[in-house]
Chain A
C-alpha cells in the first residue's frame, strides 16, 4: 500500500537538497511548454487570420449557372447512329443564360432548410470604369449590403464608408480601393461605369472596398442589387448567384450535391473551392507541434539525466528505505513523484511564461495593406492549448521518470549494504 504523505515528503526533501539540478530540469520543461504555448497561439492565430481572409467572405455554398458544353450532343439523340462511334469536333458551350431561373423561389426554399443560416442573392456582371477616355475593365456585384455585412463580414473590408451607406444610397457604389487609387477618386465623388451592352451610368462613391488581395481590389466594386438590375435593364427577379451560409460548415458538401441535383445548377462548396487552404493550415500546425515536441524531448532527457544522477547519489537512501520496510514500488513512487513534481512546476511556469509572451505579442502592432482589419499580431489564446501543454509536460516527465524510477525499484539493498 502506498503511503503518499511519506513518499511525497521524501521526494520533496530529495528535490530541495538538489535544488540547483532540479530547477535546471524544471526550466527545461518550462522552456518547452512556454515555447509550445507561444508557438501554438501565434500559429493558430495566424491560421485563423489567413482563414478569415478567404473563408469569412466566402460562402459555404456558391450557387450559379456554369457556362459549359452540353453533356449530350445532338448526335446522341439520333437513333440511327446508336450503334456507332461518334466523334464531335469543336464543341461549343451551350447557349445558356447566367441568370438563375426562379432564383427568388429557390432562395426562399433554401432559407426554409434548417441547416441554412441564410441564402443571399447576388448579381455579378462585367463593367468598365470610365475615366475620361480610358476604360478600365472590372466587376460589379449587386448585393444586399447590410446582410452581406452581418453574415459575410463585408464590413471588415470596407475601409471608408459603410454597408449602411451603400444600402441607403440609390446609385451608390462601394469602389475597390485599387480602382480608386488608379482614378484618384474620393468618397463622395462620382464614377462613371458602363455595362458591356452599352450605356453610361454615373454612380456615387459611398465607400472603398479592400479585400487585401490586390488583384481583386483593382477590379471589384459593389452596389445594390436594384442598381445593377437597372444598369443591365433586367427585371427584379434577375439574380446570377446565390451565396449560402450554413450553421455547420461540414454540411456544405452534402447540401451542395443536393442543390445541384434538385435545381440543375452548379453548387460549389467551400471545401472544394479552398482545398489548398487546408494544406497550409495543416503544415503550420505540423511545424508547431514538431518544434514543441522537440523541445520537450530535450527537456525530457534533462529530467532523465537528473533523475539518474539523483538515484545514483541516493543509493544509500534507497537501500535504507528498502531495509526498513519500504517496498520497491514505494521507492519507484518516490522517484516518479520527483519527476512529476519537476514536470508540474516546470509545466506550470511554462504556461505562465507562454501566457506572458503571447499577451506581449498580442500588443505588438502589425499593420499591413493586405489586412485592413488587423492591428496587432494575431493570437489565438485558446484555453485548450494550455490544457494540452500541461498534459504534455506531465506526460513527457512521466516518460522521462519511468525508466530511472524503475531502476530504483530494482536496486538490491543487500548489494549496496555490502558495498560499503
Chain B
C-alpha cells in the first residue's frame, strides 16, 4: 500500500512566553485508505501536530512527506496549492464563510483550484452535498444552518477537490451525540466506500475504537 502522509523526526518548540518543547520526535505513516485517529490529553500537542501536518504551520524541525514528496521548506505559494488540492481540513468549530451560501462555500476551494468549469464545479458540489444528505440546504446562507449541518458542509468542502487526505481536529467535539455519530458514520463511509485516507483527532474513545488505528499521544510524544 502506498503511503499518503509521513512524518519524520518532527520537533516543535514554542519560544514564547517561555521555551517549550511541544512536539518531541514525532514519527508515523498513514497509508492510503487508512482511517487513523489521534488521542491524548488536552494540551499534549495534538492540534499543534495537525497544523504542521496540514502545512499551515511551517515553523518546525524534521521532514514531512505528502504522497512521498518532501513538502518541508516548500514555498508558501506551493504549500497553498498543496492544501488546496491534496488536503481537506475539518475544524472543531464549523468554519464557513458566513455570508456565502452553503453551495458557494463548498465550491470555493474548487474555484481556487480552477481545474474545472463553473458548471462542473457546481455539479460536483451538489454531488457532495447529496452524499451528505444536505443538498436541500444548498442555497441557504451558511450562517442560517445548525451546527451539525455546518459540520457536514465543512466535510463537503474538504472533499470537493478529491484530496489525498482529510484531517479533522476534534470535528465532533462541539456536536451532540446524535450529530457526532452522524459525522463519524460519514467518515467511516468515505473510508470504506471511497478509500479515502483520514486522520482525525478526537477525545471520544468510542469514536476512536472504531477507526483502523489509534495514535496515542502524551506530552508531545507518540506512545503507540
**Interface residues, chain A, with chain B CB atoms under 8 Å away:** 1, 3, 5-6, 10, 13-14, 17, 316-317, 319-330, 413-414, 417-418, 420
Stretch at the interface among B50-58, B180-188, B205-213: B50-58
Chain B residues lying within 8 Å of A417, measured Cβ to Cβ, are: 51, 56, 91, 95
Chain B residues lying within 8 Å of A6, measured Cβ to Cβ, are: 108, 111-112, 114
**Are the C-beta atoms of A324 and B157 separated by less than 8 Å?**
yes
Within 8 A of A (CB), among B85-116: 85, 89, 91-93, 95-100, 108-109, 111-114
If A323-B56, A324-B108, A325-B85 are given as contacts, then 9 extra A-B residue pairs at C-beta distance below 8 Å, sorted by A number, are A317-B98, A323-B83, A324-B84, A325-B161, A328-B80, A414-B56, A414-B57, A420-B91, A420-B93
**Interface residues, chain B, with chain A CB atoms under 8 Å away:** 47, 51, 54, 56-57, 76-77, 80-85, 89, 91-93, 95-100, 108-109, 111-114, 157, 161
Chain A residues lying within 8 Å of B109, measured Cβ to Cβ, are: 324-325
Closest residue of B by beta carbon distance from A325:
B84
* A413 CA to B108 CA, complexed, in Å: 17
Chain B residues lying within 8 Å of A327, measured Cβ to Cβ, are: 76-77, 80-81
**Are the C-beta atoms of B85 and A13 separated by less than 8 Å?**
no
CB of B184 to closest CB in A, whole Å: 22
**Are the C-beta atoms of A5 and B111 separated by less than 8 Å?**
yes
* A130 CA to B180 CA, complexed, in Å: 114
* A56 CA to B80 CA, complexed, in Å: 66
**Are the C-beta atoms of B97 and A413 separated by less than 8 Å?**
no
**Are the C-beta atoms of B56 and A3 separated by less than 8 Å?**
no
- Given A323-B56, A418-B47, are A330 and B112 neighbors across the interface (CB < 8 Å)? yes
**Are the C-beta atoms of A3 and B114 separated by less than 8 Å?**
yes
CB of B101 to closest CB in A, whole Å: 10
* A241 CA to B47 CA, complexed, in Å: 95
Closest residue of B by beta carbon distance from A413:
B56
Chain B residues lying within 8 Å of A14, measured Cβ to Cβ, are: 99
9 contacts between A and B (CB under 8 A): A3-B112, A6-B114, A14-B99, A320-B97, A322-B56, A322-B80, A325-B82, A327-B80, A414-B57
Most buried by B among A13, A329, A417, A418: A417
Closest residue of B by beta carbon distance from A14:
B99
* A90 CA to B97 CA, complexed, in Å: 95
Chain B residues lying within 8 Å of A321, measured Cβ to Cβ, are: 97, 108
* A323 CA to B85 CA, complexed, in Å: 12
CB of A321 to closest CB in B, whole Å: 8
CB of A413 to closest CB in B, whole Å: 5
Most buried by B among A10, A322, A324: A324
- Given A6-B111, A323-B89, A414-B56, are A329 and B95 neighbors across the interface (CB < 8 Å)? no
CB of A314 to closest CB in B, whole Å: 9
CB of A185 to closest CB in B, whole Å: 80
CB of B29 to closest CB in A, whole Å: 24
Closest residue of A by beta carbon distance from B99:
A17
Chain B residues lying within 8 Å of A322, measured Cβ to Cβ, are: 56, 80
Chain A residues lying within 8 Å of B108, measured Cβ to Cβ, are: 6, 321, 324
Chain A residues lying within 8 Å of B100, measured Cβ to Cβ, are: 13
- Given A323-B56, A324-B89, A325-B113, are A13 and B99 neighbors across the interface (CB < 8 Å)? yes
- Given A324-B84, A414-B56, are A329 and B77 neighbors across the interface (CB < 8 Å)? yes
* A271 CA to B129 CA, complexed, in Å: 78
* A319 CA to B93 CA, complexed, in Å: 12
* A414 CA to B112 CA, complexed, in Å: 20
* A330 CA to B157 CA, complexed, in Å: 19
**Are the C-beta atoms of B112 and A328 separated by less than 8 Å?**
no
**Are the C-beta atoms of B77 and A414 separated by less than 8 Å?**
no
Most buried by A among B77, B82, B157: B77
* A6 CA to B105 CA, complexed, in Å: 12
Closest 9 pairs (CB-CB, A-B): A325-B84, A327-B80, A6-B111, A325-B83, A324-B109, A320-B95, A17-B99, A414-B51, A420-B93
Chain A residues lying within 8 Å of B85, measured Cβ to Cβ, are: 325
Closest residue of A by beta carbon distance from B91:
A417
* A49 CA to B98 CA, complexed, in Å: 58
* A384 CA to B89 CA, complexed, in Å: 52
**Are the C-beta atoms of B95 and A316 separated by less than 8 Å?**
yes
* A322 CA to B51 CA, complexed, in Å: 12
Contact of B80 among A317, A319, A325 (CB under 8 A): A325
CB of A12 to closest CB in B, whole Å: 11
**Are the C-beta atoms of B51 and A325 separated by less than 8 Å?**
no
* A13 CA to B111 CA, complexed, in Å: 16
**Are the C-beta atoms of A319 and B95 separated by less than 8 Å?**
yes
**Are the C-beta atoms of A326 and B112 separated by less than 8 Å?**
yes
* A325 CA to B82 CA, complexed, in Å: 7
CB of B28 to closest CB in A, whole Å: 21
Chain A residues lying within 8 Å of B83, measured Cβ to Cβ, are: 323-325
Chain A residues lying within 8 Å of B97, measured Cβ to Cβ, are: 10, 317, 320-321
Closest residue of B by beta carbon distance from A319:
B95
Chain B residues lying within 8 Å of A13, measured Cβ to Cβ, are: 99-100
CB of B89 to closest CB in A, whole Å: 5
Most buried by A among B51, B83, B100, B112: B112
Chain A residues lying within 8 Å of B92, measured Cβ to Cβ, are: 420
CB of A283 to closest CB in B, whole Å: 50
- Given A5-B111, A14-B99, A418-B47, are A323 and B54 neighbors across the interface (CB < 8 Å)? yes
